[in-house]
């Protein structure tokens, strides 16, 4: 599992105000005009924590593609990448009501493959939001971590 310091990305900006950068782009992945990194926020639009993250991103004028995995679906490759970068135990939310609703058979003997299968079938088992910045992944919203990642 990557530590936060390993996830830190020294992003360098030119200091200019970016055109329309305060809008979260819900159409296609965004590349900040002065960075060469794609920013994508994954989550569910009515999740309170996702809303907090989106508001923080918008307030800091970061152009981010929002991917609602309930509406837009979720690729197994994305789940595998997140689990590799952050550890499946971090991505898989055992504290969710969705986890409590699983059958006893689904709750036992969980490994990465089974967790990915369950998260693919029930995206609400994913701890939200998931912020992908280039090759780095942040799970959950932690304002201090976001500030470090974006050097703010």
Active-site positions read: 47
> Which of 27, 9, 40, 63 is closest to 131 using CA atoms?
40
> Which of 3, 7, 34, 35 is closest to 146 using CA atoms?
7
> Which of 3, 59, 60, 57 is closest to 26 using CA atoms?
57
The answer to whether residues 23 and 56 touch, using CB atoms and an 8 Å cutoff, is no
The span from the CA of 50 to the CA of 128, in Å, is 6
Q: How many CB atoms lie within 10 A of CB 109?
A: 7
- Helix 76-86 crosses helix 112-121 at what angle (to 10 degrees)? 130
């Amino acid at each position: 599992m990557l530590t936060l310091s390993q996830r830190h990305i020294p992003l360098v900006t030119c200091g200019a105000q970016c055109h329309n950068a305060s809008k979260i782009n819900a159409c296609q992945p965004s590349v900040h005009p002065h960075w060469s990194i794609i920013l994508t926020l994954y989550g569910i639009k009515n999740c309170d924590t996702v809303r907090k993250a989106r508001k923080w991103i918008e307030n800091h004028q970061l152009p981010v593609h929002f991917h609602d995995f309930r509406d837009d679906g979720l690729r197994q490759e994305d789940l595998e990448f997140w689990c590799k970068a952050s550890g499946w135990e971090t991505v898989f939310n055992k504290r969710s009501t969705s986890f409590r609703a699983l059958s006893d058979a689904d709750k036992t003997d969980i490994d990465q493959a089974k967790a990915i299968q369950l998260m693919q079938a029930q995206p609400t088992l994913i701890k939200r939001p998931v912020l992908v910045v280039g090759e780095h992944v942040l799970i959950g919203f932690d304002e201090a971590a976001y500030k470090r990642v974006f050097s703010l």
